């Protein structure tokens, strides 16, 4: 079974600083996708960034970037120039290819952004 | 784009009662997913539909749970004889899948706001 582990239940960052959220996963598959979702308080979950496992280049979306280490099964999220609106739960998720596209989520990291 | 909507947003019920939740996906999306999220956990997959066909069910989905998507549009999730352990947030998501199997990274799942269930 695939598992996703987020070892940081909570993180804090000052506004305008950079923070990195960790995620590791366990799979025997070679082809899969990885995602980071953001869940603001009392609001719905939205996709932040995604990475195809076959791509060596790390994905980037504006202030959000990932460090994908396939051999280490690691997929961290870096948020640069943190803003108050970045405060949320962040979930790492995994999906294999070729079959049902259900997502397997980690337990989440709560990010606080301070002034 | 009106997004994924879910109704009701909150439900309080007594143990043993039946409850039904509704999800309206984004109109052109052919896939619809149900997830359950308990406090301190990430969402866990329950089931999904491609159009009106229910293609996969998790072992989490006991016999008391049933989901339908009769015309390939909205979906309902019913829980019979609710138990306190059913208390959770029930999330619906939809996506547009271009193939019949699997998915690409471009198949983004859009989530609704969830229905929070409390069983007393």
Rg (CA), chain B: 14
Give the helix ranges, DSSP H, for A21-97.
Answer: none
Output the pLDDT for position A96.
83
CA distance B63 to B109: 26
pLDDT mean over B50-75: 92
Count helices and strands in chain B by DSSP H and E runs: 0, 11
Query: How many Cβ contacts (< 8 angstroms) between chains A and B?
Result: 64
Average pLDDT over residues B64-80: 95
Facing residues of B115 across strands? Answer: B90
pLDDT > 60? residue B3: yes
pLDDT value at B1 more than 70? no
User: Any idea how long chain B is?
Assistant: 120
pLDDT bucket at B4, cuts 50 / 70 / 90: very high
For position A99, what pLDDT does the model report?
Answer: 59
Structure tokens at A28: 């025997």
Closest C-alpha among B62, B87, B90, B88 to residue B77: B90
Determine, for residues B108 and A103 on separate chains, whether the beta-carbon distance falls below 8 Å. no
Going by pLDDT thresholds of 50, 70 and 90, the confidence category of residue B60 is confident
Q: Which residues of B touch A102 (CB under 8 A)?
A: 33, 45, 48, 56
Residues 12-71 of A with CB under 8 A from B: 33, 37, 43-47, 50-52
Which of B42, B48, B112 lies at the smallest CB-CB distance from A107? B42
Output DSSP code: residue B108.
Answer: P
Run means of pLDDT, 10 residues per run, chain A, 115 residues: 90 97 93 93 90 91 96 96 97 82 93 96
Q: Is the pLDDT of residue B102 over 60?
A: no
**Tell me: the pLDDT tens digits for B15-51?**
999 999 999 999 989 999 999 999 889 999 999 999 9
pLDDT of the residue at B18 = 98
The yes-or-no verdict on residue B100 having pLDDT over 70 is no
At residue B106, does pLDDT exceed 70?
A: no
Q: Check B102 against A99: CB less than 8 A apart.
A: yes
CA distance B83 to B68: 21
Interface mutation target, options B34, B42, B55, B91, chain A, most CBs of A under 10 Å: B42
Closest CA to A46 of B63, B38, B3, B71: B3
Pairwise CA distance, residues B82 & A50, whole Å: 36
Closest CA to A96 of A21, A30, A7: A30
Q: For an interface test with B, which of A23, A45, A51, A55 has the most B Cβ atoms less than 10 Å from its Cβ?
A: A45
Question: Which residues on A lie below 8 Å from B35 (Cβ)?
Answer: 103
pLDDT of residue B99: 61
pLDDT of residue A64: 98
Residue A107 to residue A1: CA distance in whole angstroms: 16
Q: Which helix (H) or strand (E) holds B24?
A: strand B19-24
pLDDT score of A41: 86
CA distance A106 to chain B (A): 6
* Chain A residues closer than 8 Å to B91 by CB: 45
């Amino acid at each position: 079974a695939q598992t996703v582990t987020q070892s940081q239940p909570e993180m804090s960052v000052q506004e305008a600083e950079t923070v990195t959220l960790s995620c590791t996963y366990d799979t025997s598959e070679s082809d899969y996708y990885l995602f980071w979702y953001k869940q603001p308080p009392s609001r719905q979950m939205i996709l932040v960034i995604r990475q195809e496992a076959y791509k060596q280049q790390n994905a980037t979306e504006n202030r959000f970037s990932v460090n994908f280490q396939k051999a280490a099964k690691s997929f961290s999220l870096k948020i640069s120039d943190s803003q108050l609106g970045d405060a949320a739960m962040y979930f790492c998720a995994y999906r294999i290819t070729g079959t049902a596209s259900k997502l397997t989520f980690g337990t989440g990291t709560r990010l606080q952004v301070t002034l | 784009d009106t997004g994924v909507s879910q109704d009701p947003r909150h439900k309080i019920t007594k143990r043993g009662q039946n409850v039904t939740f509704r999800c309206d996906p984004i109109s052109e999306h052919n896939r619809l997913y149900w997830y359950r999220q308990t406090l301190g956990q990430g969402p866990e997959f329950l089931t999904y539909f491609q159009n009106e066909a229910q293609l996969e069910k998790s072992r989490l989905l006991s016999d008391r749970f049933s989901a339908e998507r009769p015309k390939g549009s909205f979906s309902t999730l019913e829980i019979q004889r609710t138990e306190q352990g059913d208390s959770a947030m029930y999330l619906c998501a939809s996506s547009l899948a271009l193939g019949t199997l699997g998915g690409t990274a471009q198949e983004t799942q859009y989530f609704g706001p969830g229905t929070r269930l409390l069983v007393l």
